[in-house]
Amino acid sequence: MVLPRLLKALTRYSLIRIELEKCYSIHRMVQEVLRDGMDDTMRQQWLERAVEALNQVFPSGDFETWQHCKRLVTHVQTIECHFTQLTHPAVSSGRLLNAAGYYLHDQGRYSEAEPLYLRSLSIREQQLGEQHPDVASSLNNLVGLYQSQGRYAEAEPLYLRALAILFDRLGKTHPNTQTVWRNFLYFLQQVIQAGQTTQLSDHPWTQALLRQIEEQSGE
């Protein structure tokens, strides 16, 4: 009973306000006062707690979770701007940023998705190592974003890197490896259809698959 009375009093004095979906927001001036009263250590601790809390509730980003994502994604974007304050960001923050980026990507909000994908990739490389399968997952989502924008020259080397990681760490027959391999084949088909094969490198995998696709289409 104490909490409802406290929230009611804070609302009466406009220190907080009730939003849709039974959420509360804190007045911006109150936020500034709270931030100004924190030293660097406390500010980092609160940032870490906010990241962990959001990670616990932020869904996968798939279609059926879009309404939930819509309510939370602005909080993720706000926190992302302060990630440079974290000396050792938690691995869970990589998952949070990747999921939020995936939602924004599906919404066609490409310029907003990219910094989240890039930050997720950086955190996973730092915390898990550059050859971890989760790094390949971040790469796969990032190249999908570039592919959606026709940024083929940027996408190809990231596909190749993701595949190299997955072949080495999970093997050719692992479902994750097979998924990225199929994505790469579709990517090459899209590049051919767009008449943009000159954007691609002379990497053996790329060139062999291009020849295979072109031969099959000519049958």
Same-domain status, 106 and 184 = no
Same-domain status, 90 and 165 = no
Same-domain status, 120 and 87 = yes
The helix or strand, by DSSP H or E, that contains position 18, with its residue range, turns out to be: strand 16-18
- The number of distinct structural domains making up the chain is 2
Entry pTM: 0.79
Same-domain status, 182 and 112 = no
CB 160 within 8 A of CB 203: yes
At residue 57, φ and ψ (nearest 5 deg) are: -110, -15
What was the pLDDT predicted at 162? 98
The bridge status of strand 16-18 relative to strand 24-26 is antiparallel
In a domain, 80, yes or no: yes
Same-domain status, 59 and 81 = yes
CA 171-177-181 angle, to 5 degrees, is: 125
In a domain, 137, yes or no: yes
CA 116/CA 108 separation, integer angstroms: 14
Q: How confident is the model at residue 64 (pLDDT cuts 50, 70, 90)?
A: confident
Looking at the chain, the number of H-run helices and the number of E-run strands are 10, 2
In a domain, 199, yes or no: no
DSSP tag of 16: E
- Could you tell me which residue, 9 or 181, shows the higher pLDDT? 181
Same-domain status, 105 and 134 = no
In a domain, 69, yes or no: yes
CB 136 within 8 A of CB 162: yes
In a domain, 113, yes or no: yes
What sign results for the dihedral spanned by CA atoms 206, 166, 133, 173? positive
Q: How confident is the model at residue 201 (pLDDT cuts 50, 70, 90)?
A: very high
What was the pLDDT predicted at 122? 94
Out of 69-78, 126-135, 172-181, which region has the weakest mean confidence (pLDDT)?
A: 69-78
Same-domain status, 60 and 124 = yes
In a domain, 197, yes or no: no
Instruction: Share the mean pLDDT of the chain.
Output: 84
Same-domain status, 49 and 89 = yes
How far is the CA of 112 from the CAs of 81, 139, 144, 161, 217, in angstroms? 12, 17, 14, 24, 37
Q: How confident is the model at residue 156 (pLDDT cuts 50, 70, 90)?
A: very high
In a domain, 86, yes or no: yes
- Could you tell me which residue, 75 or 131, shows the higher pLDDT? 131
Out of 17-31, 103-117, 203-217, which region has the weakest mean confidence (pLDDT)?
A: 17-31
- Could you tell me which residue, 75 or 163, shows the higher pLDDT? 163
At residue 26, φ and ψ (nearest 5 deg) are: -90, 135
Q: Which domain holds residue 137?
A: 130-144+155-192
Share of the chain above pLDDT 70, in %: 80
Same-domain status, 57 and 117 = yes
Same-domain status, 47 and 124 = yes
Is 157 in a helix, a strand, or coil? helix
Out of 50-59, 99-108, 138-147, 165-174, which region has the weakest mean confidence (pLDDT)?
A: 50-59
- Closest by CA position to 90, among listed 41, 131, 49: 49
In a domain, 89, yes or no: yes
CB 148 within 8 A of CB 167: no
Same-domain status, 170 and 98 = no
Same-domain status, 108 and 82 = yes
pLDDT per position as a tens digit, 96-144? 999 999 999 999 999 999 999 999 999 999 999 999 999 999 999 999 9
